[in-house]
Amino acid sequence: MEDVSSRGLHFQLSDSQRNRLRKSRELLREAPGNYHPSAFVNIADPIHVENEATVLKGHGTQVLDGQLLATLSGVVERVDQLVTVKPLRCRYNAETGDVVVGRITEVGTKRWKVDINFRQDVHLMLSAVNLPGGIQRRRTVIDELNMRSLFEENDLISAEVQSVHSDGSVHLHTRSLKYGKLTNGQLVKVPPYLVKRLKQHFHNLKSCAVDMIIGCNGYIWICAAVDSLPSNPEIEKITGDSGAPEMDSCNESISLKVRENICRLANSIRVLSALGFLIYPDTIIDTFDASISKGVAIKDMLGAEFLVMIAEREASRRTKNNYML
Amino acid sequence: MALEFISPEGLRLDGRRPAEIRQLRANLGVIDKADGSATFEMGNTKVIAAVYGPHEVQNRSQQLLDQALVKCEYSMANFSTGDRRRKQKGDRRSVEISLVIRQSMEAAIMTHLLPRTQIDIFVHVLQADGGTRSACINAASLALADAGIPMRDIVASCASGYLNNTPLLDLNYLEDSGGGPDVTIALLPKLDKITLLQMDAKLPLEMFEKVFELGNKGCVAIANYMRNVLLENTKDLAFARGVVKV
């Protein structure tokens, strides 16, 4: 029996479902605007270049006996003279300015270590966070001792990549009110290559009263919208509008409707990631709406029928209207 | 009387010809949580490999400043052999095989590109029918490629032996326990370099060269199969996602 199950989730497909899935995959293969077959290279395959001497050898290439070979299995990209091979599945490659979601792994002296699915843990310096109260000042020894009151081990945070250094280390910062500790929600992990880079990675889905942070590193945070929560006048009075909100690890109580919306969105993302489709707000909401209009229960969204349905939808969408991303 | 390994018609116990490999089967991306994973089957031998990393070095004293730290763990499922037995982790055999797999993979991985990181390779034998060592190397190689770790070349491995005065390719369990020599080779086919060569018996030099040559050919055949699987997998992933301008 041929295995056509997808990454991430294991589905028991009936024969007809398997055929439907295979058919929609074939449609996707023939969809317009796809990669040319010659763009794919395997490890140690030669890459065709016009002039060996003038070409710039980028990531994923090596030179052997004067011949340019790939060191990764992926897609060749050419920018002017630069030739690189982009692998499809790999760890997140940090770039300055990316919005990421991460998990604190260690609290050290003057810095937190954060896991963002990078090839090392990255640093968040004490000097790169906003202290509660919002005043800009020197970080004192007292601040250093109180670091755990800001972020503890295993806390989830959203942050921005501040710099990528030549030795491979990466620094984050949370110097904006939109970054900081994440509460009242759910984390979904997807492969980073599926996340489309956009201008905006913070999304407020007003219709579901849900906020969504699509980290470039493939960590996606879905939480109850801040304005939907019962507001606590006490806290607002203390923090005012001048500074970062008090980092509070206790979760608010969220209404059942919002909790369901969060789970439905999370499962939409899981289905898209299992099928290997691109993940950005349009596709997530499209899948979300499809599940509602078809009356699929949240738990059945991770079932075979819904998976095949979404695959067919995407295949017909891409083949029909000469669709280009 | 010694077992007849080759019938008068020139066929082996399982119906293969002397220079024939068993049926190959490989699947990529079988474990969700791993960065790269693969199953590899050679006839009735089946192994699963998972690669985690490159990630932060767990034990900081082992961190290497100029290259990646590669770790490998080999284990056998209790149900993998004919007689069910509980093997404790870290017996001599599995330690030795872990080392062998690690060394042959390390030769292919471009570790200097990933300083201060760690790559974990876990291989687990699900069904053992001879040639587990080769199957493990092949599975680990596919899993590393799936994880997007830069490699000089794909490592392909195959065993060959010498029984009844005939060089045999890809021994199964019965042939393996036939008492003849067993040569395991791991090859970087494009670079034409050997990363592993093991033999546990004596063999005259002229015979060894024949057996070695046969094993080499087996590796090349396996490598071609692995490359096809990898390319199909890459295409599937790319076509599902569609072209994106980043």
Q: What is the mean pLDDT of residues B29-51?
A: 95
What is the rounded average pLDDT of the residues B75-100?
A: 88
Position A239 scores a pLDDT of 41
Question: Among A107, A170, A89, A169, which residue's Cα sits nearest to residue A143?
Answer: A107
Question: Comparing B4 with B20, which gets the higher pLDDT?
Answer: B20
pLDDT of B238 strictly over 80: yes
Q: Are A91 and B148 inside 8 Å of each other by CB?
A: yes
Confidence of residue A9 (pLDDT cuts 50, 70, 90): low
* In the predicted structure, residue A104 carries a pLDDT above the cut 80: yes
Q: Which of A71, A115, A197 sits opposite B152 (nearest CB)?
A: A71
Percent of chain A with pLDDT over 70: 88
Chain A residues with CB under 8 Å of B245 CB are 325
Using an 8 Å CB-CB cutoff, list chain A residues near B242. 28, 31, 33-34, 278, 318, 325
The alpha-carbon gap from B238 to the nearest alpha carbon of chain A, in Å, equals 7
What confidence tens digit (pLDDT) does each residue in A151-193 have? 999 999 999 999 999 988 999 999 998 999 999 899 999 999 9
Quick check: B230 and A43 CB within 8 A? Answer: yes
A262 and A269 Cβ atoms separated by less than 8 Å: no
Residues 6+ apart with CB under 8 A from A124: A104, A111, A112, A113, A114, A151, A157, A159, A171, A172, A173, A174
pLDDT exceeds cutoff 50 at B163: yes
Question: Are B153 and A44 an interchain contact pair (Cβ–Cβ within 8 Å)?
Answer: yes
At A250, the pLDDT band (50, 70, 90 cuts) reads: low
Which residues 6+ apart lie within 8 Å of A150 measured at CB? Answer: A129, A131, A132, A181, A247
- B:7-36 residues touching chain A, CB 8 A cutoff: 27, 29, 32, 35-36
Residue A6's pLDDT is what? 55
Q: Looking at the predicted complex, does its ipTM rise above 0.95?
A: no
Preceding omega of A192 cis (within 30 degrees of 0): no
Average pLDDT of the segment spanning B77-87: 85
Using the predicted structure, report yes or no on whether residue A321 has a pLDDT greater than 80. no
The pLDDT mean for chain B works out to 93
Q: What CA–CA distances, in Å, run from B235 to A75, A174, B74?
A: 9, 38, 30
Q: Is there a contact between B152 and A89 if contact means CB atoms under 8 Å apart?
A: no
Residue A246: the pLDDT is 47
Taking residues A266-279, report their average pLDDT: 94
Instruction: Give the Cα-Cα-Cα angle A95, A96, A101 (nearest 5 degrees).
Output: 75
- Measure in Å the smallest separation between the Cα of B152 and chain A Cα atoms: 6
Domains present along chain A, CATH in parentheses: 7-35+184-325 (no CATH), 42-87 (2.40.50.100), 89-182 (2.40.50.140)
Cβ within 8 Å, pair B236-A90: no
- Ordered by where they begin, the domains of chain B are 24-82+90-231 (3.30.230.70)
% chain A with pLDDT above 90: 65
Mean pLDDT confidence for A208-228? 91
Chain mean position to CA B197: 13
Determine whether the interchain pair A89/B147 forms a contact, defined as Cβ–Cβ distance below 8 Å.
Answer: yes
At what angle are helices B205-241 and A15-30 packed, to 10 degrees? 80
Lowest mean pLDDT among A50-59, B178-187, B222-231: A50-59
Can you give the length of chain A in residues?
Answer: 325
What average pLDDT does this structure show over B50-78? 95
> What part of A 43-82 touches B (C-beta under 8 Å)?
43-44, 59-60, 62, 64, 69, 71-75
H or E segment to which residue B62 belongs: none
- Considering only the beta carbons, identify the residue of A35, A105, A276 that sits closest to B243: A35
When mean pLDDT is compared across A133-137, B34-38, B49-53, B75-79, the lowest value belongs to A133-137
